[in-house]
Structure 1
Amino acid sequence: MDDPQHPHLSRVFRSGSRIPGRRIRARGRGMSAVELEERSVPDGAPAERLDKVVARLFGVSRGRAMEWIADGRVRVDGKRAPKGTPVRAGARISVEKPPPDQPAPQPELPIRIVHADAHLVVADKPAGMASHPLKPGERGTAANALVGRFPELAQVGPSAREGGLVHRLDSDTSGLLLAARTEAAHAMLRAQFTARTVEKGYLALASGEIQAGGEIALPLLHDPRDPRRMQAASDAAYAEEHGARAAVTRFLPKERKGGFTLLEVEIPTGVMHQIRAHLAFIGHPLAGDALYGGPDLPGLPRHFLHAARLAFRHPDGSRARYESALPQDLLQVWTTLP
């Protein structure tokens, strides 16, 4: 079935006071500094449950104290103890406080700023860099890099770890990332992603020779056999039963050589691994994408996928469009194909 808006596409695949104590800082590899704080139960204090004592000594809610205990962050005289353990006067309570959720600023990380204004930032993320931390204190992500250059991003958006990002890319996918510098800009841009009016264009190297453009309109869900993967669900009843998410991938062959096809890909939706899973489903997995059965290529240590185009309505009312050329690693692989 032809798409009237894309005539070149021909195929459809369908509490208490704080007591002075000691603080120690340590750092794990790739993580922010860990703060260890120790306090003593005052002389004459009655025996109480550990969770109550932690809440009172460290000035946090009892719920937060129980979280710390469950996570193994609390020691009584150097040893872990359950939340109901009676704690007596003179006991030393130490807590390994979790780092803040906001990404630690790392302005030294390599990320190219394509555009920045009072409302937003467009960055070109290198391959091998996660979009944002998945747990407190994680470092080395695009969000860390952007917060290092634009500190206000740490306060923008509903999730503190995302550093104002409006969308994400897989770690090994390079290309354009969009972040908002104000809450108003974030809300406006996210609304466009939700409404599927943002143009998201990619360059992808698919295995096999693809002769015509097409559309894959199949919902995606986590593969029950491998939680790292997504799978396309061609059966509507199965998709609905398992909570599959709607996903649409449009592709157009750009050039063919060496048994591979360079594709221009557009996705109005944004589901995890969408392009990778959809192309694998039709028998054309990405070059270098071992997770989805893609073939290896010399000099290609990752899947061949680059977020090359981003277009949307700017908060100032204009239509914004940004582009990113193939990075050197992918360009080298493409040019050396026979």
Structure 2
Amino acid sequence: MSRTWLPYLLLSVLALSGCDSDPHESTVSLQSGHLILDSGHGNGGSAWGLVDCAACHPLSLIHRRALRIRDMVRDKGFDSCTGCHGGNGTRQPRRCVLCHNPDDLPSHPLGNGVNGHDFVKSSREPLNDEQCLVCHVASDMNGYFDINRDLTRLVDVNGLATHYASLSDFCLRCHNRDHQQAGFEITTTALDDPLIAIEDAWRYADKHGWIDGGGRTYAGLRDAYVYTSRVACTDCHVMHGTQNTGLIIDRSDKGASRLMVAFSQRAWPVVIREGDFSQLCVLCHAMKIPLEQGGLDAGNGLRGVHRVGEDCRPCHQHGEALQAGM
């Protein structure tokens, strides 16, 4: 090798070494918890508005510390960048379901089923990128669900973007009678429709909400549930896909968050037929003294609720004061 090439070779090695230890990598991905790029991207914003990620970020080097997603990102290529990092000041679409789909990430989330929270009542299509971003505009994608990081910050009753007190708090900022989100108004004429009445019901009438549900005739709950619990909306309703209407979960591991993990992960099926919700209720309710068919299999292998196989709705509705709030 000619000695004249030696300085260039050393410079090349140093340059590659600098790329391999990007000083901004840990700041952006691990410390700040905020992955959406802004106008400061690059040195003083020099990379803001650029479309070609590969110009600065070799695919073989990115996500070295994000071992859970590194291989998938390399497989999907630069099309996956906008899903987590935004459009970088361009009109490039954010690609969520490129990775979050039943084939690549079947449990993140559990999304199989024809009914999802797609904001279109009659739709039976899988959720698309735009619908994902309504609720998850800037997740930190660290593998741990944090309601105040991974959910879009919606304004509260006072029009302020306050922190969420619970997961249900997030849901109720849309599902209410008088302070729905601009652009996502729920059009219904019935004031007692649970889609808009649930905020008041959950706070003032429904035993699954703030009201103590103890002292009932058919007493008995599965481990980890107590009558003073405030049951999250997502214990019964799943956003990302279910075979049941009303977004009712179709298996135990899609909701019922307080159940023991070993029990829940057995994925007890939930099928709702003509108002018979017994397979849903029996996930958490297991009466200690069987009454009115309480010892019968609800159809999914579990026992513990009454009037199995009948329409529950004449007696049980969200906010129904005559039946103890539910």
* Greater per-residue strand proportion: 1
* Greater per-residue helix proportion: 2
Scaled by the length of structure 2, the TM-score of the pair is 0.28
RCO comparison, higher one (Cα < 8 Å, 6+): 1
